[in-house]
Amino acid sequence: MERGKNPSLAPRANRIIPVVVGGPQDTFVPNMIRAAVGDVIQFQFSNGNHTVTQSSEDSPCQPLQATQSGVIHSGHIPFVDGQTTVGTFNVPLTSTDPLWLYCATGPHCQRGQVMAINPPSEANLVEFNKKANGALANIDAGEATGGTASFDIDVS
């Protein structure tokens, strides 16, 4: 090996990490991911009308957008059977801090449509899901922030 060159120290390529939002079970698949700064989480919307909305770990089903700016909220992105393109919401990660997310459509959050990016442990996600199941309300957020929506992925 050439002196001063260490392949293990080569820059890591940023990844696009797909997450399916919706589906027949109204879930996020996967519902837990590990990602690095520079990675892009690509939420791909399927089966119905869904959102990706950021909450705190302690208050699932309530948008952080009500108290903080620049947090994640996709707005409602519908998918109708027979559509030839799927809506996406691309979120570039600028930190490895945990992100707690839910769907703000109807009772989806209380029914378990929640996920975490970089949670401290899987047990934290389990507890977040339990809190979501017991939430009294599923609160929507305002304008889309924290990412970029598009409707150009061909699924035909």
Given this model, what pLDDT does residue 130 score? 98
Given this model, what pLDDT does residue 156 score? 66
CA angle 149–150–154, rounded 5-degree value: 145
| Domains of the chain with CATH codes | 13-144 (2.60.40.420)
Residue 1 confidence (pLDDT) above 50: no
Give the tens place of pLDDT for each residue, 131-145.
Answer: 999 999 999 999 999
Give the tens place of pLDDT for each residue, 45-96.
Answer: 998 999 999 999 999 999 999 899 889 999 999 988 888 888 999 999 999 9
Given this model, what pLDDT does residue 4 score? 53
Q: Quote the tokens at residue 135.
A: 């939430």
The CA distances from residue 146 to 53, 68, 71, 93, 101, in Å, are 10, 11, 5, 9, 12
Given this model, what pLDDT does residue 38 score? 97
CB 42 within 8 A of CB 33: no
Sign of CA dihedral 145, 151, 153, 156: positive
SS3 (DSSP) at 36: coil
Given this model, what pLDDT does residue 17 score? 98
DSSP 8-state secondary structure symbol assigned to residue 13 = P
Q: 52, 54, 84: which is closest to 68 by C-alpha?
A: 54
Give the tens place of pLDDT for each residue, 103-124.
Answer: 999 999 999 999 999 999 999 9
pLDDT band of residue 10 (cuts 50, 70, 90) is low
Given this model, what pLDDT does residue 153 score? 73
Give the tens place of pLDDT for each residue, 13-47.
Answer: 899 999 999 988 899 999 999 999 999 999 999 98
Query: Is the bond into 18 cis (omega within 30 degrees of 0)?
Result: no
Alpha helices, DSSP H, located in 3-140: 122-133
More confident residue, 10 or 26: 26
CA-CA distance, 43 to 21, in Å (whole number)? Answer: 6
